[in-house]
Structures are given as structure tokens and as C-alpha cells.
Amino acid sequence: VVDGLNFLQDYQAAESLASRGETLGEDDERSITDLLIEQIEFADVILISKIDLISSVERLELIAILERLNAQAEIIPMVMG
């Protein structure tokens, strides 16, 4: 599930997982962006939540990014999913 409202902001952030307390251990030096990319690349189905809370321009940008990261996944926008 991709958070449609916050994905673009998180995707563009250089914030580390450690800064959010989300690491797999002390040696996990991934960024939020790295984690998002990994999750999307391995998905068969991508659900975009809160699609009604973003503009049509943001929606097109988000879907384009998701399609570039994983052209094989089915992308399903959701409202109140």
C-alpha cells in the first residue's frame, strides 16, 4: 500500500530510516527512499491509498514513478481503502 498523500514527499526526502526509528538494526543505513523503492520493486499489486486527497498532477506524477519502478505491478488507486 502506497500512501498517496505522503509518498512524493517521502520519496524525495533524504531522511534516513534511523531518524524515524525504522531500521532493521544498527547496520541498516538505508534512507526512506531506499525502503520505498525496495517495497515497490517487489510488489505484484500496488494499492494507492488516499488518491482523492491529491491533485490530478500529483496523481499522474505518482503513478508515473510507480510504473517506472515496477512496470509489471498492477496499480490500483483507492478512496477509503
- At 45-71, the pLDDT tens digits run 999 999 999 999 999 999 999 999 999
Give tens-digit pLDDT for 20-38.
Answer: 555 555 665 667 788 888 8
Whole-angstrom CA distances from 37 to 24, 43, 70 are 16, 10, 9
Domain positions in the chain: 2-77
Number of residues that this document lists for the chain = 81
**Largest separation between any pair of C-alpha atoms in the chain:** 40
| Rounded distance between C-alpha atoms, residue 81 and residue 68, angstroms | 24
Q: Please check whether residue 33 is in contact with residue 10, taking contact to mean a CB–CB distance below 8 angstroms.
A: yes
